[in-house]
Amino acid sequence: MTQRNDVNFNVFTSTKTLSTSGHTNVTEISAQQNQTWTNKWNTFCSYETDQVCADIPLNQCSTCRHYSFWLFFTLIFLLAVWILLANSFVIAYIIKRKKSLRTSLDLLKGSLAVTDLLTGILLLTTALPNIVWTTRLTSRQLYVETRKLADTPVAIVSATLYLLLISSTLYHLVLMSYNRFAAIKWPLAPQTVKRTKINLLLLWLLALAAASYPAWFPESFHFYYMYFTFLFLPNISLHSGVDLSKAVGLFILILLPYLAMNVITIATAILIRRANQNAREQLSESSRVQEQIIRREKAVLTTLAIMKLGFTLTQVPTIIVLGLTYAGFSNSIAFIFMIYCALCNSAINVLIYRARDQEFKKFVAKVLGKTFRRRLTFRSSIPSNTRITSVV
């Protein structure tokens, strides 16, 4: 537990409690440079780093595993590149598609791809530079710089963006689920593109409100640079039951949409099953057409179910690790896996489209085929250096 305007880093380091009142100036911080981080939570350095390398940058410290830093950097870089390139294909596919063929589900996929693009941008502009920046600091400098960044606009915006990526993905899946439910339940009142655009606007506003929820309560939530994850994240100081209720409020903003998403999916599956049975009992031509429509809706529902399963699997580590952390069991590797596993969902959706959407698969093959043919044409157009000698 901590006092007001304090944050207990028991969860993140060892036993130090640091003042983060927002009025702390550089002079006050510099005066405490004899203090350093306890590397209980330092992901790539040993416990002795503070004592051995207090004044040596981490990238030169013998107690740090430098290959682990750069292996992690490489993995995050590859993940970011894949997210950006893959989701660019999704957006390009939807833009290239004729407006007459563009459906409300296409708009939802495009909006979700924008969310996934933001994930790649966050990794490239925040995580990767922070990895390099952190390794260039000494343990004492890390202590000072982390305290200076606490509750700054940079910390608040970056942490809010991380929460926005999670909440926006979840809310997109909820809206997609409702979109398919409405298409089966009320087939004569289809979801128009204009209505979907309005729903998307409301979705983004709601996701932004949920992501900025911690910033509404600065007396309870604080924003820090968590050096062991290389990202800015929110943290709550549970010094009273009031703060606990606010933490529960943030949890509910995520839990309720998740439960709604699954309930809607189950209801849609029931509607499809009933409609399929009714179509089979009738032998008319219209029933055959309806059966084809139901078969297509069933395929779409299966795709959405796989997407929801992927989202669930990437978020399960968050529930487990936070639960263990609250119970007093903390591990840096588990925490960093939790953070980045949640962001990996942005790389999964495109793989699902590639496997389930035949039109998207053809589009990708066509684009890659054109690129390959252009490269072959370019190579064949380069004149050879072979000298031709005339025979006299």
pLDDT in tens, 1-55: 333 333 333 333 333 333 333 444 443 444 344 455 544 546 788 777 777 777 8
Task: Dump pLDDT digits (tens) for 283-315.
Answer: 555 566 677 777 888 888 888 899 999 999 998
pLDDT tier at 90 (50, 70, 90 boundaries)?
Answer: very high
Closest CA to 215 of 201, 245, 236, 242: 236
pLDDT tier at 241 (50, 70, 90 boundaries)?
Answer: low
Q: How far is CA 370 from CA 59, 128, 355, 365, in A?
A: 44, 32, 21, 9
pLDDT surpasses 60 at 201: yes
Q: Which residue has the higher pLDDT, 244 or 234?
A: 234
Range in 215-224, 226-235, 271-280 the model is least confident about: 271-280
Task: Dump pLDDT digits (tens) for 324-355.
Answer: 777 777 777 788 888 899 999 999 988 888 88
Q: Which residue has the higher pLDDT, 193 or 109?
A: 109
State the pLDDT at residue 138.
86
Over range 46-68, report the average pLDDT.
82
State the pLDDT at residue 13.
35
pLDDT tier at 254 (50, 70, 90 boundaries)?
Answer: confident
User: Using CA atoms, how far apart are residues 312 and 55, in angstroms rounded to an integer?
Assistant: 43
State the pLDDT at residue 369.
79
The domain limits of the chain are: 66-218+238-362
Range in 40-44, 186-190, 213-217, 228-232 the model is least confident about: 40-44
Task: Give percent above pLDDT 90 in the chain.
Answer: 31
Over range 207-236, report the average pLDDT.
88
pLDDT tier at 379 (50, 70, 90 boundaries)?
Answer: low
Burial 147-175 (b: 16+ CB within 10 A, else e): bebbbeeebbebbbbbbbbbbbbbbbbbb
Task: Dump pLDDT digits (tens) for 122-148.
Answer: 999 999 999 999 888 888 888 888 889
CATH H superfamily, domain 66-218+238-362: Rhodopsin 7-helix transmembrane proteins (1.20.1070.10)
Model pTM score: 0.80
Q: How far is CA 241 from CA 94, 237, 254, 391, in A?
A: 48, 11, 20, 98
Q: Which residue has the higher pLDDT, 327 or 260?
A: 260
